[in-house]
Amino acid sequence: MTLAHAYAQLGIPAQVRAVDLAITNVSDMTVISRGTLTPRWEDSMIHGHTIVWLPTLDHLIDVTAEQFPEIAALDEGPVVAGRAGPQAAQDPAERVHFKRKHLRMTYTLAPLETTVALLDHPVPRASMSDYRRRGVNVATAAVAILADSLPRMRLPQVPHRRAAALIEAVRDLPEHPHAEGRRFLRCRWRIGGIGVHTGRDAEGIPTPRFCSNAAPVRCTTWAPTI
Q: What pLDDT, on the 0 to 100 scale, is given for residue 75?
A: 97
Q: What is the mean pLDDT of residues 143-166?
A: 88
* Distance (Å, whole) CA 117 – CA 18: 11
Written as one string, the DSSP assignment of 81-102 is EE--HHHHHHS-TTEEEEEETT
Type of residue at 120: D
More reliable by pLDDT, 199 or 116: 116
Could you give the CA distance from residue 15 to residue 113 in angstroms, rounded to a whole number? 13
Listed by start position, the domains of the chain span 2-119, 132-213
pLDDT tens digits for range 33-52: 999 999 888 888 888 999 99
* Residue 140 backbone phi and psi in degrees, to 5: -60, -45
**β-bridge partners, 187:** 198
Q: What's the whole-number mean pLDDT along residues 193-218?
A: 49
For residue 143, name the pLDDT band (cuts at 50, 70, 90).
Answer: confident
- Of the two residues 73 and 174, the one the predictor is more confident about is 73
Q: Which helix (H) or strand (E) holds 149?
A: helix 122-149
Any idea what the Cα angle at residue 155 is, between residues 150 and 158, rounded to 5°?
100
Q: In whole angstroms, what is the distance from residue 83 CA to residue 71 CA?
A: 20
CA distances to 12, 62, 101, 120, 203 from 132, rounded to whole Å, are 15, 18, 35, 17, 10
Specify the pLDDT at position 61. 97
Among 135, 184, 180, which Cα is nearest to 10's?
135
Distance CA 161, CA 211 (A): 6
Q: Please compute the mean of the pLDDT values over residues 166-175 and round it to a whole number.
A: 76
CB 5 within 8 A of CB 136: yes
Amino acid code (one letter) for 154: R
| pLDDT reported for residue 119 | 66
Query: What pLDDT is recorded for position 33?
Result: 96
Q: What is the dihedral of CA 58, 66, 68, 96, to 10 degrees?
A: 10
DSSP string, 173-198: --EEE-TTS-EEEEEEEEETTEEEEE
Please say if the pLDDT value at position 221 is more than 80.
no
Confidence of residue 30 (pLDDT cuts 50, 70, 90): very high
Distance CA 219, CA 207 (A): 25
Q: At what angle do helices 2-9 and 122-149 cross, to 10 degrees?
A: 50
Mean pLDDT of 162-184: 69
- For the residues 64-90, what does the mean pLDDT come to? 91
Pairing mode, if any, of strands 103-109 and 14-25? Answer: antiparallel
